[in-house]
Each structure stands twice: as structure tokens, then as C-alpha cells.
Structure 1
Amino acid sequence: MDVFAMFSGRRGMMSDFEFVDSHIHFWEPSRRDWYPVLRAFSVDLDHDHLPGDHARDAAAAGARLSGLVHVSAVSKPGTFLDEARWLDGMREEIGVPHAVIGTIDPAAPFERIERDLAAQAESPAFRGIRVLDGLDPSAEATARLFALLGEHGWVFDLVTHPDGMREYAAAIGKAPGTAFVLEHSGWPRRDDPEEFRRWREGLARLAALPNVDCKLSGLPMAFGTMDPARLRPWVEACLELFGTGRCFFGSNFPVDGLAGTYGELLGAYREITAGLSADERDRVFAANARRRYRIG
């Protein structure tokens, strides 16, 4: 199977809607037992999800998927370099993923972190990292990490809930030369007015920093629905605060797939953004992710 042809729309799945998926996960727990946190999150995710699966999801959604950013999801200690090598072999064989966000062990000595970053950067697809847990935004080591990423032009994909946004905004304000991407729209925990208020307040702090982009992803994971009416206030707040120049779509598949299909997800975001101009929609669904993750 020519998997890359499926991604780029060359197997008859032609559409005038082209998009870049800025947040996907490939995993193969049947052969690579790297995901204990995933298994604890939901047993329904404990199955292989590989490029062919993702290509079929995109094809069924009736859109042209022209770029993929893979984000590390390994949680077993010591496996993230194995994942990096696995992904790079995949890229050499079939052409995807086009960009990779890796990870580090935040508890490791800084010299080890530097070596691990250099090892991942041997891949031409490496663009930066995220850290799922264990990073203290106020620590000196975090400041050193952010500075190092900026020196090399690497991105930091930020994982935080609303209660961590104030501290991260302070840390990011001291790293103006580093590019940050807020994952999962700031990952609210609940869909209720009080959480929305706290989330929006923190989001505004991050949006005030010009080196922070916002990834429109993860809301179905947080709320258990792809209903456009439920997602709309959150997505529209991101677009209002960050603008269409600093927001971009990510499916978070297969995790967001717990709430529905890929087609339903794309349909929800397209419905919510229907009032944008064609240029604005292109930025949100393709151009901004291409810029931030340097996808040609």
C-alpha cells in the first residue's frame, strides 16, 4: 500500500479542503510496550494505530491530509529514543510523519537531556519536544531547557491545564526566543462556566505572549463529545485571543477518536470556523502548522 499517496490525496480522494494534522499519535502496543499511561487512560486505546489506519480515517473524512505532526506519547521510562528511531525509520520508508515532537525525561541531569535532544535531532523531521508530566515551570532547569530549545530553533509543545497557565506564562515570558505551542486548547478539565472562566483567564495570559501559538485539539478528549455546539465557545475563545494567525488544528487521534470519528471531528471544526474567510481558514487548518513545524 502506498501510504503516503493516501495522505497526499493521490488515490482518488481529491477535495478542495486541504489540511495539516498538527497532533497525531502512531503507536503499536502489540509489538512495542511503551504506553502504560495510555493503557491506564483508556483500555479502548490499547490497540495499534499506524499510518495506514490514519490515512483511511482521513480518506473517509473526504479531505486532503497534506501534513502530519507526530507527538510523542510514550510513558515507559527509557523508551522515547526507541520511539524516535522507530518513527525515523517509518519516515524514511513511507514519507510520514513530516514533523516529530519528541520528549525528554525532565528528572534527568541536564547533560543527559542535552544528549537526548541531540540524539533526536539527528532526524531531519525533529522539531522539538513536549513533556507530559514532571516539569516545574519555575525551576532553573526548566529555564535552561527553554533557552536551549530556543538556541536550536526547537519548539516546546506545552502541556498544561488551566491551573498551570499562570506559572507557565511567567516562565515563557523569560524565554522570548523560544517558540511555544499550547496543546489541546489549554486542556480544560470540565465543560462548565467556572472552568471556562479560569481557563479563559489563563489563556489570555499565554495569548499575550507573542511566541505562543495555540493548537486547537483535545477538546473531545476533555469533554467526551464532538458536538459543535459544545466545542464552539472554547474554539472561538482561542481564535479571539490568539487570532487566526496563531491557531491551528490538530486531531489528537486516535485519542479524540474516543468521542467520535475523524470525519465528525473535522466536520465540527469546519462548522465552527465557517464564518472565517478562506484565507483565515487556510491559516487555521494548514498554513500556521506548516510555518510552526517547518513542513514544506
Structure 2
Amino acid sequence: MSTSFSDSQKNAPAAPHVTIRPEWLALHAEEAIDPARPIIDAHHHLWEFPDKRYRSDNLLADLRSGHDIRATVFIECQTHYSRERPPGFAPLGEVEFVLDEIRAAGEAGARTRVGAAIVANADLLLGDAVEPVLAALIEAGESRVKGIRNIGVWHADPSVKASAATPPPHLLLDPRFRQGLSHLAPLGLSFDAWVVHTQIDELCSLAAAFPDTRIALNHVGGPLAIGPYRGHRDEVFTQWRAAIAQLARHPNVSIKLGGFGMALFGFDFHAMPRPPASSLLAQNIRPYVETCVELFGADRCMFESNFPVDKGNFSYGVLWNAFKRVTSGCTDAEKSRLFHDSAAGFYRIGVVPA
């Protein structure tokens, strides 16, 4: 199994992630709200880079928060890429790494099905040449690879650094990218899209061009609050809401509710003397969550932790309490879809017993 770092990983720019401070997070803890509610965490990472580590033991420690996390979805993060394979096939190393972590979680007696679904990386700019890469990922993934993510986050202003990835501008409009993406649906694969609010029109175009491809927009579509957008939250919210309202018209698109601990949201909880309580977190994220549920419906929305990226701003248990506070007015059926069923359907995760 591959455990080495590629040269590109060693030299990659530091991600705009808030530093995790365990001693600060320990200053606030909460009992789980509605602890018996089944949850699928629809978006988390596992990684080991020269400057940071988050592996199965770290995840399992976070999962022991009192919430009933039945399964998780691993999302690619360009860790442990293979240097021995031909160009294009390097992401197989990440899938092998995740499978090793899944086995380690099982050996540790985890009740949660860690990595019940895997969203891998394959360079869709390869066009038709990506097909054998996709086939290899599916085979290597032991029936867990359910989708592909290519990060498309880009902005003309260099002060708007919302992702460590450096894709070319207008990736989703590139004919080669679209040629590569055309191979997903025939193989039963979905596409995870990560773009910010100024790019959602490009995702609308992609969704219209590929109506048979299931698409999940990550992190509520990244309403920016950094660079020139800092201090303009209300104006950005109006623009973001209009953009995702257009996107919601495409029935093949679902949306992930989370990512609020990323710097791009500008909440800056990490600058507080103590970590935020779930009540404060819920107050800040409520407009975004409620808007998404209103526009997409509960059956096309799924909650995500985005850990460990978001862990610099709040703890795992507090985050899920905040989600439960925001949805306190929803029906039980709506809560079941938001916390479990929508993710299970989108990623084709079977029944997860208690």
C-alpha cells in the first residue's frame, strides 16, 4: 500500500485551514442533543501530510461525541498519492490508504462504518483517457468508490484563497473536463463539486449539460466573506441565495450543509477566548441551512462535518448539536432525510444498523 508523499504534495501551498488547538477546544463541551438520531457524516477527510495528521484514530476520537454516527463518506484530499504508478493513476494510492484506515477503524471496534462511501479523485481534464483510471479506482475501492471530486474553486483576486487547490479558471466549462465527466454516469459514479458562490452559474451550466450525472455541491456553495467580500455578508448572502435558487432548479443536484468552519465563511470563531457553543454556531449558520432546505428540499440536502478542516473553529459534537438546533422545527421525516437518508441515497449506502 502507498504511504509516501508525492513531490507535488511536499511542495503544495499550505491550505487556508485554521490551526486545530485541542486545549482550546477542550474549554467547551456539550452533551449530545437527540443522541439516538441516526447520522451519516456526508463529508470528511483522512490525511497525513508533513505538517498535519488526521487518521482513523483521530476520527474515531471525534466520533465519540455522543451522536449516533452510523456511517461516514470519505472525500478525496490528495493524500498518499502513488509515485510508482503511471500519470493519472496516482490517486489510487489515496484509495488504498483510506481502505487501510477503514480496516484500522474496524480493528479498533468502531461502531461507525467509516468510509462507507469514498469520493476519489481522477483528473477529468484527461478527457476520454480518464476512463481506465475510473475503472481502476472502482476496482481498487472494494465497492466503496461512489463518486469523483475535482475541486474547481477559483477567483481572479489572489486575496480570495478559499482552497489549497489551484485548478485552472473556469474548470467546469472546459471541454476536456466535460469529456472526462461524461464517463461518470455510465459507471454509476456521481460528481462532487466544490466551487464558491461566484462560480455557481458555471455549475448550473454543467448540471444542465449532464442531467443524468448526480452532482453534490460541497459546503453550501461557499458564500465568500474574505478578501473584498469581508464586511459584505448581507450583500453576498443575497447573491448566493439567487445563485443557488437557480442551481436548485436542476433535479440532479444535491447540496451539502457544512463547511462553516472554513476561513472563507469569515465567522472567525477561533479568535474567541472560548470555543463557540452550539447555540451561537446555530445562530450564525441558520440562514444558510434554512435557505438550502427551502430551495432544495430535505431530500436533496445532507449534513457534513468537513472534519478536520472545520475542527479549528469548533468541536465535532458541538457542530452536530448546532445542526440539530437549526432543524428543531423540521418534521421527523425531514430530519431523517437531512441527517441520514439523503446521504444514504446519494452515495448508495445500504442500511446501517444501530
- Same fold? TM cut 0.5: yes
Match of 1:40 in 2: none
- Whose radius of gyration is greater, 1 or 2? 2
Residue of structure 2 in register with 1:260 after alignment? 314
**In the alignment, which residue of structure 2 is the partner of 1:56?**
61
Tell me which residue corresponds to 2:334: 280
**How far, CA to CA, are the matches of 1:141 and 1:77 in structure 2?**
23
| TM-score after normalising by structure 2 | 0.71
Q: Distance in 2 between matches of 1:76 and 1:162?
A: 30
The residue correspondences of 1:126-145 to structure 2 (distance < 5 A) are: 126-133=145-152, 134=167, 136-145=171-180
**2:96 is the counterpart of 1:85:** yes
Task: Provide the residue aligned with 2:249 in structure 1.
Answer: 208
Unaligned residue ranges in structure 1 (runs of 5+): 1-13, 34-45
Matched with 1:116 is: 133
Structure 1 residue 111: Cα displacement: 4.2
Matched ranges for 1:144-223 at <5 A = 144-190=179-225, 192-221=233-262, 222-223=265-266
How far did residue 137 of structure 1 move?
1.7
Aligned position for 2:47 = 27
| Deviation readout 1:102-159 (Å, 9 max, x if unpaired) | 112344x324422221111111100111112426222222322232111112110011
Asked if the contact 2:128–2:180 (Cα under 8 Å) also holds between the matched residues in 1, the reply is no
Give 1:207 deviation, angstroms: 0.5
Could you tell me whether the CA contact under 8 Å between 2:193 and 2:216 is conserved in 1? yes
The match for 1:72 is 76
Per-residue deviation, residues 18-73 of structure 1 (Å, max 9, x unmatched): 200010111122xxx5xxxxxxxxxxxx422112221221212x111101100011
1:263-293 CA distance string (max 9 Å, x none): 1111111111110011110100001100111
Which whole-Å CA distance do the structure 1 matches of 2:79 and 2:193 have between them? Answer: 16
Tell me the equivalent position of 2:122.
104
Q: TM-score, normalised by structure 1?
A: 0.84
- Name which structure has the greater RCO, CA cutoff 8 Å, separation 6+: 2
Q: Deviations over 1:58-113 (max 9, x none)?
A: 212x1111011000111787642211111123335536311100112344x32442
Contact 1:245–1:284 (8 Å) recurs in 2:
yes
| Corresponding residue SS for 1:20 | strand
Change (3 A) 1:75 1:111: farther
Is contact 1:248–1:284 with CA below 8 Å preserved after alignment?
A: yes
Instruction: Write the deviation string for residues 178-212 of structure 1: whole angstroms up to 9, x where unpaired.
Output: 00001001011117011111111111111110000
Q: Aligned partners of 2:243, 2:261: CA distance in 1, in Å? A: 20
In structure 1, the residue matched to 2:305 is 251
Distance 1:252 1:183 in 2: 9
* Aligned 8 A contact 1:147 1:177 in 2: no
Q: What 5-or-longer segments of structure 2 have no aligned partner?
A: 1-33, 83-89, 107-112, 153-166, 226-231, 270-275
Contact 2:48 2:54 in 1 (8 A): yes
Cα–Cα, structure 1 residues 254 and 65, in superposed 2: closer, same or farther, change >3 Å? same
Contact 2:124 2:178 (8 Å CA) reproduced: no
* Equivalent position SS for 1:189: coil
Distance 2:79 2:206 in 1: 25
Which residue in 1 is equivalent to 2:109?
none
**What is the number of equivalent residue pairs in this alignment?**
266
- Name the SS for the 2:182 alignment partner: helix
- Measured in 1, the distance between the counterparts of 2:348 and 2:80 equals 29
Cα displacement (A) at 1:15: 3.8
Matching residue within 294, 303, 307 for 1:240 = 294
Alpha-carbon shift at residue 17 of structure 1 (Å): 1.9
